[in-house]
Amino acid sequence: MHSLLDFIARYYHWLLFLLLEGISFVLLFQFNHYHNSVWFTTANTVVGQINAWEQEAIRFVHLHEANRALTERNLLLEQQNALLREHILELNHDSTFVEQLQQDMMENMTSIPGKVVTNSVLRRDNYITINVGEADGVRPEMGVVSGTGIVGIVYMTSTHYSIVMPLLNSKSRISCRLHGTGYFGYLKWEGDDPLYAVLDDIPRHARFNVGDMVETSGFSSVFPAGMFVGKVSAIENSDDGLSYKLIVHLGTDFGRLQDITVLAETFHDELHSLEQRADSLAQQ
């Protein structure tokens, strides 16, 4: 208490000056319309700028949710476009036909969004770690895609994380086809540029051009047909000269990959079990 009194006694003239100055400002802005309008205009500008900064901070914090939503939306649009391309000739001007096909396709598939934890593009056998695992419904041999193309196949899972074998792995083999032709081959990476892969075994009688789209063939339970992979950037002869080897510019930029989606088909486990039984019977 004595300290407070000593402080007031020592600085009473400054305190009195601030009090009188405050009263003067109140009287000035209260009874003078011009100064009052200036005060409110300035105050609103300052408050508005502070609110704008606050909203920018909130949007930045929730940016990963927006990226995830965009990834899921791109995936849905890819599937819808694939359905339209495949069945446009069967429509017969009936719009409900396409809508029913879209619903049937999505009923058998769920998407599990996730983010990349670790990634590499410089090794011969690259792997990607993602932050979703068995607790999220992820299982080995599920397909992984991004908003711009396919990424790879789930290789190994734990409770909360998974290891993905991407296209940039010497062991990766993805069945792909040339859009609109039906000719298919196997996409593989030769260990060079992470933006390019090779599509082998395209027959010599096939007709196509540089710039044509490469998509998944649907000949497995991993990826549905029609998912974007990349575009043909060059055409070469195979080593034996019996087929073409296409250089494919990949849609996925693995060096900048952040958001992914795991494709979980409803009947994935059933199909995988049936394939294993067929393999065991063939070996007997």
Asked whether 167 and 176 are in contact (CB, 8 A), the reply is no
Q: Please give the average per-residue pLDDT across 211-235, as a whole number.
A: 88
CA atoms within 13 A on the CB side of 10: 6
Is residue 252 within 8 Å of residue 216, measured between CB atoms? no
Q: What is the DSSP pairing of strand 109-118 with strand 213-216? A: unpaired
Q: Is pLDDT larger for residue 18 or for residue 82?
A: 18
pLDDT score, position 82: 63
Closest by CA to 163, choosing from 118, 104, 216, is 118
Least confident of 9-23, 95-109, 178-192, 202-216: 95-109
Question: Residue 102 has what pLDDT?
Answer: 46
Superfamily of domain 110-266: Rod shape-determining protein MreC, domain 2 (2.40.10.350)
- For the stretch 31-64, pLDDT in tens is 666 555 555 555 545 554 565 566 566 656 656 6
User: What are the residue boundaries of the structural domains of the chain, listed by start?
Assistant: 2-61, 110-266
Q: Is the pLDDT of residue 98 over 50?
A: no
User: Phi, psi (5° rounding) for residue 198?
Assistant: -120, 135
Q: Which long-range contacts (CB under 8 A, 24 or more apart) does 100-103 make?
A: none
With contact defined as beta carbons under 8 Å apart, do 152 and 167 qualify? yes
Residue 156's region, left for phi above 0, alpha for psi from -120 to 50, else beta, is beta
Over the stretch 18-31, which tens digit does the pLDDT of each residue have?
A: 777 777 766 666 66
Cα–Cα distance for residue pair 36/43, rounded to 1 Å: 11
Which amino acid is residue 29, in one-letter code?
A: F
Give the residue with greater pLDDT, 98 vs 36.
Answer: 36
Q: Is the pTM of this model over 0.85?
A: no
